[in-house]
Structures are given as structure tokens and as C-alpha cells.
Amino acid sequence: MKLSEDIYFYPFSGTLENNCNTVALTGAVPVLIDPGHKHLWPGLKTKMADDGLNPEDFKLVLFTHCHPDHMEAGQILEEEYGATQAMSQEEKEFYEGPGQDFFPWMGLDLPTGYIGRIIEPGKLDLGDKGLNVYPTPGHSPGGICFHWPEEGLLVTGDIVFAHSFGRVDFPGGSISELYKSVEMLASVEPVKIVLPGHGPAIIGADAVKENFRSVLAMIKSYC
Ligand SMILES: [Zn+2]
């Protein structure tokens, strides 16, 4: 689904399986954020093709965090198209340690792909655009979110959803860290589109503000 000239959103709509939403940003350095599960990649590839997007153009795959439902297909992008898989340093360390347990828990083989690039907090230069990278622990220790100020776009992974938030009961999760991360994201400006890791997009600056207000109140009630 094309949202603007360089922003494509692929919400997962299956009811029997879990998979994350995927975001594709085109332009000088096309990036794919959270490509999802391996076995669901053919469906995503078809949707991208319907929008005129070629997976071969996406040489950088960004992960908001290392959970298999967000990153498993990164291995395909690496092996078939020569893409580089990237996440934060802290998340890479978690992924290479206790984060590996998520794969057998979900009945999946351990991925053989390689995290070839570390995404630092601050500016991520993508040629004609720059994304701001924000560390957002709480759902996973080294989770990150992406802000594209010129487009008012915030990609929130499993930190903030529409009227909900990511689980904190997985290894490495923390409700107090999540609260701090959401509070920080709520102060990011300008934001008129939030693309979360699961569920529908939040469109419009007022809807975004209202969503942050309600989600912060929800999390606070658990703290
Ligand atoms: Zn997750």
C-alpha cells in the first residue's frame, strides 16, 4: 500500500498467523523495515510487486528489534538479494544471546543470516533522506524506532500500536522502560503518521497525539 511517494506500508492481515507489518521506504537508498516471517515472505513480495517495488533494490534491511516475527525473512533478503541486515548494537548482542531462544520457542530454525551493520542512535543517512533513530527499550532491550521528520513519519515497531502497546513479559522486556520509551516518542515532532509493528496505521497529527495520550495512561496503570 503506497502512502506517499517514498513510503509503502504492508499491514499484515492474516487472522490465523502472527506476522509484523512491513514498511518500505524508497528513494536513493531504499530500505525495508521488519520484513517479517520467512514463510510469509512470498505474500509480501507479491504485494510489493503489485506496487512496482523490486526486492533486489532493497540492499538495507532494518529491524526495529530481533523478534522472529519481525526479522526472520531478513535472511532471505540477504541470501537472495545481497541485502545487509541491520539493528542496534544492544539488540544484536541480545539477538546473539538470549534472543536466540525466541526461534525454537516459535518452532523455527535458528537463522543463519548475519547482522552486517549496526544502527547507531541519531541520524541514519539514506542519501536523499535522513531518518532519526531513537533507542526504545521496553519490549526488547535494544529496540529502535525511526523518525523521518520531512514526512512526519514514525515507525514504532512493537513499542506503540493503535490504542495498545507491545508485550513486556518476554525476556528483556520492562514496563518501566517501555513507559519511558513511549513518553520520549510522544515528544518527537512532527509526526502525522505512525506505522506500528502490528495493527493499523495511525494517521493524522491529532490522532497520533490522542493515541500517545491513551497508551501512556494504559501503561501507567500497569507500572
Ligand atoms: Zn516483538
Cα 170 to middle of ligand 1, angstroms: 9
Beta bridge partners of 170: none
Q: Flag whether pLDDT at 14 surpasses 90.
A: no
Interval between CA 30 and ligand 1 midpoint (Å):
23
Give me the CATH number covering residue 99.
Answer: 3.60.15.10
| Total tally of structural domains belonging to the chain | 1
Asked whether residue 190 carries a pLDDT value surpassing 90, the answer given is yes
Angle formed by the axes of helices 205-220 and 175-186, to 10°? 160
Residue 50 C-alpha from the chain's centroid: 22
Task: Report the mean per-residue pLDDT for the chain.
Answer: 96
What is the domain range of residue 139?
2-220
d(CA 65, CA 20): 11
Distance 130 CA to ligand 1 centre (A): 25
Residue 63 near residue 71 (C-beta atoms within 8 A): yes
pLDDT bin (cut points 50, 70, 90) of residue 110 is confident
Q: Is there a contact between 197 and 166 (Cβ–Cβ < 8 Å)? A: yes
Note the pLDDT tens digit of each residue in 158-187: 999 999 999 999 999 999 999 999 999 999
Q: Find the 221 Cα to ligand 1 centroid distance in Å.
A: 21
Ligand 1 centroid distance, CA of 151 (Å): 25
C-alpha cell at 63: 529491524
* Residues near ion ligand 1 (Cβ under 5 Å): 67, 158
Output the nine-digit C-alpha cell for 21: 507489518
Each residue's pLDDT tens digit, 196-218: 999 999 999 999 999 999 999 99
What pLDDT shows up at residue 13? 87
Q: Would you say residue 92 has pLDDT above 90?
A: yes
CA of 61 to the centre of ligand 1 (A): 16
Centroid of ligand 1 to alpha carbon of 74 (angstroms): 15
Confidence of residue 82 (pLDDT cuts 50, 70, 90): very high
